[in-house]
Amino acid sequence: MPEVLSQSQIDALLNELIGQDEAAAAAITEERKIRPYNFRNPKKLSRDQQKVLRGLGEVFARHLASYLAGLTRTYCEANVVSLEEYPYMEYNNALPDTQITAVLDVNLIKGALLLDLSNSITFALIERMFGGAINDSEPPDREFTDIEVTLMERIMKRFAALLQEAWTFTPDIQISLRQIETNTRFIKSIAMDDMVTSLVLSVSLNQVKGTVTCCMPCMDILPILEEAIQEQSGANNKEDEVAEESRASLLTRLQDATTEVCGILGTTTMTMREILDLQPGDVIRLDQSVGSPAVITVNGKKWFYGSPGIKRNKMALRINRQYAV
């Protein structure tokens, strides 16, 4: 007769089953990698498009470091530190009230690009241009003078030219300086709810550290990036086709080439007197036994092992295996 479980035993079994289910669910949750996704402001750029922009930033950083080093006669280093997407409102609110910002016109897009220069780098350049030394001191908390704005306008024009050179994947692009703004709250070139991509470069001038940030409207640059990706993939496919055609042409030409194939049954060493004394019927003793394989050479290089024989009343060599070095 089967044993009848008590209520306490039934409760214990149920609790054990519930515990196993919770442990399994927790294990599945730990195995899954959950990534946060903002449905209100989704990302606009794909991974390939971000890769193109990061490559642009690296080229711009090299040009920028070279220009600033020559301008200030001091050591300069520039590196790409981040590439982020967010609404322009968040980007604008994160900027200080007083900062040099260049509004750049681009012939291939409707909107504008923004190039922001941190105050530490700005005042270091101004100090250097007026004959001072670059030192790691706190930048002054004041408005920019007209002379300083005029000086930075000339430098920002050069920045725009360097940024244009960095767009190597779009040779037809033209970037020019529209205006210089010192109050970031007055910039209305980009709508507040538009998604933008900020490319941040870390710049070091001797001991002074700062940033140069390029703000680009996502929807305006998407066609340019997509065209660049297609051109790069097309160029890679074209290179593969050219390589395949070259290989096929080379193989076709090699098929008609003539080579010298020799079968070496054995070798020996003789003096010149012994060679001069040779007569018909003499036997030359080789340095390998009768059962040893013959070496087959192609243009003087050892390629195969073979065995001698006769085929259609002619002496022949059968290839047995690849020659082992």
- As given in the structure block, the two tokens for residue 123 are 């005042």
Q: What are phi and psi of 268, to 5 degrees?
A: -155, 170
Q: Between 32 and 45, where is the model more confident?
A: 45
pLDDT band at 79 (very low <50, low <70, confident <90, very high): very high
pLDDT at 234: 56
Q: Between 171 and 307, where is the model more confident?
A: 307
pLDDT at 95: 86
Edge-to-edge strands of the sheet including 98-106? 76-87, 195-205, 208-217, 112-117, 98-106, 175-183
- Span 315-321, average pLDDT: 84
Cα–chain center distance at 144: 40
Q: SS in 3 state form for the chain?
A: CCCCCCHHHHHHHHHHHHHHHHHHHHHHHHHCCCCCCCCCCCCCCCHHHHHHHHHHHHHHHHHHHHHHHHHHCCCEEEEEEEEEEEEHHHHHHCCCCEEEEEEEEECCCCCEEEEEECHHHHHHHHHHHCCCCCCCCCCCCCCCCHHHHHHHHHHHHHHHHHHHHHCCCCCCCCEEEEEEEEEHHHCCCCCCCCEEEEEEEEEEECCEEEEEEEEEEHHHHHHHHHHHHHHHHHHHHHHHHHHHHHHHHHHHHHHCCCCCEEEECCCCCCCHHHHHCCCCCCCCCCCCCCCCCEEEEECCEEEEEEEEEEECCEEEEEEEEECCC
> Which contacts (CB < 8 Å, 24+ apart) does range 231-238 have?
231/169, 232/52, 232/169
**Average pLDDT over the chain, rounded to an integer:** 82
Q: Lowest-pLDDT range, 93-97, 240-244, 262-266, 310-314? A: 240-244
Closest CA to 111 of 120, 122, 101, 103: 103
Flag whether pLDDT at 253 surpasses 80.
no
pLDDT band at 19 (very low <50, low <70, confident <90, very high): low
Flag whether pLDDT at 60 surpasses 90.
yes
Measure the CA–CA gap between 305 and 135, rounded to whole angstroms. Answer: 76
Classify the phi-psi angles of 105: left when phi > 0, otherwise alpha if psi is within -120 to 50, otherwise beta: beta
CATH number, domain 261-322:
2.30.330.10
CATH number, domain 47-230:
3.40.1550.10
Q: Are 284 and 265 in contact (CB under 8 A)?
A: no
pLDDT at 153: 93
* Amino acid type, 89: M
Domain map of the chain by residue range? 47-230, 261-322
pLDDT band at 311 (very low <50, low <70, confident <90, very high): confident
